[in-house]
Structure 1
Amino acid sequence: MSHPDRHPDPVPAGSRPDAVEFVHRSWRAEPAQLGAIRRELVDWITPLGLSPDEVDDVVLAVDEATANAVQHAYGPDEHGDVELTLWTEPGALCIEVTDHGNWHPTDTPGRGIGLMQRMVGAVLIHVDDAGSKVHLRHPLPAADQSAGHHRAGEGA
């Protein structure tokens, strides 16, 4: 049984390209937690074969989403959590940032969404009465994708 404060270590994508990795963690939605989130994120995604620039881009996009949750999801007298769920799919890293607060959009849109869109392949945002979810999807290296395609065609 794993300890609740420990996260599972992902298997490098190159060692099992058909494997689906999954990690879920939750932190208090506090500014002091943002550094810990970034450090754990780097530990999780480094084995997936992304270049150092891609790791930086993914971390920046996730940092923007988590900072928004910390700053905007909960009122001054409210306490809540921000959750990260990471998983791999064939050819992609997917990350979902979730809060359970009451998101109040501002009159002037920030630069965060555009920043996230420049850093990763796709950004989807969903806000409802249960909170908000930011879904980020970033392509994994082509070597992993071609390995999966090669295997699929072997039996043909």
Structure 2
Amino acid sequence: MPTLHTTLFDTWPIPIAAAPPALLFQMVRGGDAIHIPTWTNMRGSGMLPSTESFEIRKIFLVPDRQATVLDPVALLHQSLIELRVKERTVFSCPARYLCAGPSWRGLTVAVAFEAAELINEPFVLDLPFIIPGGVNFVVECTPSAALFPAAIFNVLVVLEGYLTTPD
């Protein structure tokens, strides 16, 4: 069975007011007008095809640099990311510690991300998580209950690892 180094990704729209947690990787790419190829690359609703598996090696977030957020560090520091496989939480972390790629670091109270510094250090797992094919998984994103962006603030949630597929 071939193994490909790739990513699974979905977009977390952080709301402008109190809202329940967002459940990512539940909608198929192209399933509606929002879930276009740059929003998500999921091919199954909440699971991989039964003949595939995905070994997660890194988890990272890529915040929208065009968003207007008074304090993006505080907003993501007070937000939580959880990965559940078969209804079991296998990973939980404040969103701030997962920022990577074209992201930012340091404290900022600027109204735009352009004033912040960039980093590129995804959260690397010492031991990978395996998502077997045909098994439900979800990334639950709980936004801050106290801070809200001025407009919807999109964050790309990326699972990097190895996808094993049939021949």
- TM-score category of the 2 structures, normalised to the smaller one: 0.3 to 0.5
Higher share in strand: 2
In our comparison, the structure showing a higher alpha carbon Rg is 1
Greater RCO structure (CA 8 Å; 6+ sep):
2
Q: What is the TM-score normalised by the length of structure 2? A: 0.31
